[in-house]
């Protein structure tokens, strides 16, 4: 029987809706939540899709909440007050939390946002380490372990965290090189950068309909940070995903020469310790990761 909460909206999106009802503008909501206006709009669009009724309507040059959305926002505010009150009643989380994640996710997604969790739980000492093997869930000393691997090889106690798609990425200077990178077949003139093996580039070439015998050429790296550093340095063209490449794409360090993406053969999985002194903190951290993935950076 499906869970009653299987379609529970993101708490961040509910916060944005409540703030929009209270403050009256997306700009004010963005300031209060320390987000961009586009991130607020993205969360509200996703929430509208989850609720299956319109949240806003035109109001001169701006937008206003529909009558149904205002009613829902008031109920959401009551629910958020209850959640906040329940959290306040819980004991303060303490202890040491050991988190292990793939190098790419640790460096390019977790590291630049993990301070938010630390701010919420200042008494928890966090130790974040990069896993040596991407698809390995055998590090039982980790309280929370995230792996990037094939579902068939995951342990029974690992939950599916996120599926991602792969697309070409390169430095802006590479994109402007003559004779140019304008169509997929032009990749034959550029060095390809691979993570672990050449199989992803072979699959992307096939999806792009490029008849070439060379998608396996180039340089193979053992982890995503090396791939991305080489790509930013203009050493070639790599395949990235919306989690590990998002920051570099947003900053302009990397660009997407082609829009075509393919589903990755691997996905992100997470295992949380089921017992021990760090169990409560590990459970809270896992919930925070899930909530972050429901935000604008959702793959």
Q: Where does the pLDDT of residue 98 fall: very low under 50, low under 70, confident under 90, or very high at 90 and above?
A: very high
Q: Where does the pLDDT of residue 58 fall: very low under 50, low under 70, confident under 90, or very high at 90 and above?
A: confident
11-89: which CATH architecture?
Orthogonal Bundle (1.10)
User: According to the model, what pLDDT value does residue 180 have?
Assistant: 78
Asked whether residue 90 carries a pLDDT value surpassing 60, the answer given is no
- Determine the Cα angle at 86 with ends 85 and 92, to 5°: 100
DSSP-assigned beta bridge partners for residue 269: 147, 160
Share of the chain above pLDDT 70, in %: 89
Q: Where does the pLDDT of residue 264 fall: very low under 50, low under 70, confident under 90, or very high at 90 and above?
A: very high
pLDDT-wise least confident of 91-95, 204-208, 223-227: 91-95
Q: Is 272 left (phi over 0), alpha (psi -120 to 50) or beta?
A: beta
Domain boundaries, the chain: 11-89, 92-299
| Mean pLDDT in residue range 34-53 | 84
The pTM of the whole model exceeds 0.85 = no
pLDDT-wise least confident of 57-61, 109-113, 160-164, 201-205: 57-61
Q: Please give the CATH topology (third level) of the domain spanning 92-299.
A: D-Maltodextrin-Binding Protein; domain 2 (3.40.190)
Asked whether residue 17 carries a pLDDT value surpassing 70, the answer given is yes
In whole numbers, what is the pLDDT of the chain averaged over residues?
85
Asked whether residue 229 carries a pLDDT value surpassing 80, the answer given is yes
User: According to the model, what pLDDT value does residue 87 have?
Assistant: 59
Asked whether residue 88 carries a pLDDT value surpassing 70, the answer given is no
Q: How many angstroms separate the Cα of 218 from the Cα of each of 201, 209, 215, 227?
A: 10, 20, 8, 12
pLDDT digits (tens, 9 = 90+) for 102-160: 999 999 999 989 999 999 899 999 999 988 776 666 667 889 999 998 876 776 678 89
User: According to the model, what pLDDT value does residue 138 have?
Assistant: 64
pLDDT digits (tens, 9 = 90+) for 182-194: 899 999 889 999 9
d(CA 168, CA 239): 4
């Amino acid at each position: 029987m499906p869970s009653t909460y299987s379609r529970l909206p993101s708490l961040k999106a509910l916060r944005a809706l409540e703030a929009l009802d209270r403050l009256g503008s997306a700009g004010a909501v963005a300031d209060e939540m320390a987000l961009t206006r586009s991130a607020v709009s993205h969360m509200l669009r996703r929430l509208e899709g989850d609720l299956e009724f319109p949240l806003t309507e035109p109001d001169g040059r701006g937008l206003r909440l529909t009558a149904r959305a205002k009613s829902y926002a008031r109920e959401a505010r009551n629910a958020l007050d209850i959640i906040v009150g329940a959290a306040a009643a819980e004991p303060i989380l303490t202890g040491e939390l050991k988190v292990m994640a793939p190098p790419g996710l640790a460096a390019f997604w977790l590291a630049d946002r993990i301070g938010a969790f630390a701010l919420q739980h200042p008494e928890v000492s966090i130790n974040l380490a990069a896993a040596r093997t991407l698809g390995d869930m055998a590090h039982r000393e980790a309280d929370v372990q995230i792996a990037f691997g094939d579902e068939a090889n995951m342990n029974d106690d690992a939950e599916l965290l996120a599926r991602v798609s792969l697309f070409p990425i390169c430095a802006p200077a590479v994109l402007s090189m003559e004779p140019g990178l304008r169509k997929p077949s032009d990749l034959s003139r550029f060095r390809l950068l691979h993570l672990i093996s050449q199989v992803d580039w072979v699959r992307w070439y096939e999806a792009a309909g490029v008849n070439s015998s060379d998608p396996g050429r180039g340089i193979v790296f053992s982890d995503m940070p090396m791939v991305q550093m080489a790509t930013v340095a203009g050493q070639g063209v790599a395949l990235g995903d919306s989690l590990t490449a998002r920051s570099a794409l947003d900053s302009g360090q990397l660009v997407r020469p082609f829009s075509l993406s393919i589903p990755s053969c691997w996905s992100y999985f997470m295992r949380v310790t089921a017992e021990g002194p760090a169990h409560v903190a590990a459970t809270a951290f896992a919930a925070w990761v899930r909530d972050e993935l429901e935000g604008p950076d959702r793959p």
